[in-house]
Amino acid sequence: MSNNSLTRKKSLESLLTAAKGMDLKRTLTAKDLVGLGIGAIIGAGLFVRTAAASAEAAGPAVTLAFIFAAIGCAFAGLCYAEFASMIPIAGSAYTYAYCTMGEFVAWTIGWALVLEYALGAATVSIAWSEYLNNLLGGAIPYEWCHSPLEVSANGVSGILNAPALLILLLLTALLIKGTQESATVNAIIVFIKVGIVLIFIAIGWQFINPANHTPYLIPEGTPGHEGIFRHGWGGVLGGAGIVFFAFIGFDAVSTAAQEAKRPERDMPIGILGSLAVCTVLYILFGHVLTGVANWTEFKTAGKEASVAFAIQNYMPGYGWLATLVTVAILAGFSSVILVMLLGQSRVFFSMANDGLLPKLFAEVHPKFRTPWKSNIVLFFFVGAFAAFIPGSMAGDLTSIGTLFAFVLVSAGVWIMRRSDPNANRPFRTPLVPLVPILGMVVCSGMIIALDQRTQVTALGWMLVGFLVYFGYSRASSKLNRSPQPASK
């Protein structure tokens, strides 16, 4: 195979050999990885997307929408689990694509993951700032918690989003200090927010009004729900598209494969375990929320504060729980940012080790054994978005990057089963090729269902990535400088 070929691949043998020289510290257990997954998944999605999906498409059947979205994620999750167990290397979908579909596809997916991780971290840090100010009763002046592109109703223009920068700085410092320390802090945060979710479910169950669950599906002809994906079973599918974004993050577990103590066992547990735990919590949460308050009220009431609205209006005597929910949301945002920054730095670490990015992204701190320079560069990159760009501009770009990764990982499992059937697979995706095909179909369908502006913006981002690849990365690639054993 020509070294200049866009389809040149890294063999599985060379990947595993090279990984032995990359001394990231192996400190994470299966429990840590499940915690990282829950930390990335349970964020704003649970508290915001549930009410949005119920009001816009699914009604009380938002629980079924969660089940459908979880099935779509499970197909991709099973494929991730096979790759993560057989290729326990930092880099996630990027690394898997390099081994199965070649360098150009690997670069494309690595560049797309920036949309999920870096842009996702920026977007969530902006939301973190908003909720912190709400918790403090608006004590932070408008100009210091909004971007220069935003103007208040009183004509005050933003200067920069200081709280967003602060949380990014604190979490970046934590990541530089160490992965185990980061996982410990994440575990504490997960305990807090899952505890508050369980308290809401337990107390809210007593206030469920069965009439709010009847009819379970939005009837055809309901005003404002004329589209095929806005009522009935079509509404369940439409709702699944909305709540899917609440599941984003379980794939970030796979970026920490090189820091897992027993990756061949722990990675599948981390990926599939976190997905299973969150799915159960989501279904119970959706059932209680739509039982306490009628789904029609979420069209106008609450929006982001939908849970607090339900508590304050239908759960007398539990106003303190509304404050706890805000604390849970802040905690949820914090752990999502933490795992997103962790994931992005590990993807860049792998890309730099392959020569596709400058080597500073692969430099490991002599004491902490973390890619500290990558973390610092990411702080400035993500911080620039968080401080100076409104959160609304990020839109669903985070989701399209994730879905694209899901499609290619699903395809990669099928390809590698054919190209290297005898490779050691500690975890095997069941029902191949059916599961990978279903993963590709479901996730591709969700990409098509996203709005056109998001699709066009993502295309523009990818074109910039292609310029970087052909202008720098293709010539700098280690496969361009020294032949590697061809993959099978």
Whether residue 220 has pLDDT greater than 80? yes
Query: Would you state the pLDDT for residue 21?
Result: 55
pLDDT band at 113 (very low <50, low <70, confident <90, very high): confident
- Alpha carbon distance, N-terminus to C-terminus of the chain: 11
448 inside domain:
yes
Residue 487 forms part of a structural domain: no
Rounded CA-CA distance 327/321 in Å is 10
How much is the average pLDDT of 386-407? Answer: 75
> For residue 2, what pLDDT band results from cuts at 50, 70 and 90?
very low
Single pTM value for the model: 0.78
Give 24's pLDDT tier (boundaries 50, 70, 90): low
Q: Does the pLDDT of residue 22 top 60, yes or no?
A: no
Burial of 58 (0-12, 13-18, 19+ CB in 10 A): buried
Residue 120 in domain = yes
Residue 443 lies in a domain: yes
Provide the number of structural domains found in the chain: 1
Asked if the structure places residue 50 within a domain, the reply is yes
Gap between the Cα atoms of 456 and 58, Å rounded = 28
| pLDDT score at 217 | 92
Kindly state the average pLDDT of the residues 243-259.
75
Asked if pLDDT for residue 394 goes beyond 80, the answer is: no
Report the pLDDT averaged over residues 127-154: 84
CA dihedral 338→340→343→348, nearest 10 degrees, is -110
| Lowest pLDDT segment from 281-295, 300-314, 360-374, 469-483 | 300-314
pLDDT of residue 60: 93
Three-state SS string over the chain comes to: CCCCCCCCCCCHHHHHHHHCCCCCCCCECHHHHHHHHHHHHCCHHHHHHHHHHHHHHHHHHHHHHHHHHHHHHHHHHHHHHHHHHHCCCCCCHHHHHHHHCCHHHHHHHHHHHHHHHHHHHHHHHHHHHHHHHHHCCCCCCHHHECCCCCECCCCCECCCEHHHHHHHHHHHHHHHHCHHHHHHHHHHHHHHHHHHHHHHHHHHHHHCCHHHHCCCCCCCCCCCCCCCCCCHHHHHHHHHHHHHHHCCCHHHHHHHHHHECCHHHHHHHHHHHHHHHHHHHHHHHHHHHHHHCCHHHHHCCCHHHHHHHHHHHHCCCCHHHHHHHHHHHHHHHHHHHHHHHHHHHHHHHHHHHCCCCCHHHHCCCCCCCCCHHHHHHHHHHHHHHHHHCCHHHHCCHHHHHHHHHHHHHHHHHHHHHHHCCCCCCCCCCCCCCHHHHHHHHHHHHHHHHCCHHHHHHHHHHHHHHHHHHHHHHHHHCHHHHCCCCCCC
pLDDT in tens, 454-476: 788 889 989 999 999 999 999 99
Query: Is residue 11 one of the residues assigned to a domain?
Result: no
Q: Which residue has the higher pLDDT, 488 or 98?
A: 98
Instruction: Output the pLDDT for position 246.
Output: 75
Segments forming the whole domain that contains residue 124:
34-475
Average pLDDT over residues 334-340: 84
Please indicate, yes or no, if residue 434 is contained in any of the structural domains. yes
Q: What is the pLDDT of residue 433?
A: 92
Reported as a single tens digit per residue, the pLDDT across 409-423 is 899 899 889 988 888
Give yes or no for residue 164 having a pLDDT over 90.
yes
Residues 388 and 382: their CA atoms lie apart, in Å, by: 10
**Over the stretch 36-52, which tens digit does the pLDDT of each residue have?**
888 778 876 677 778 88
| Averaged pLDDT score across all residues of the chain | 83
Domain harbouring 67, CATH code: 1.20.1740.10
Is residue 379 one of the residues assigned to a domain? yes
Position with higher pLDDT, 239 vs 64? 64
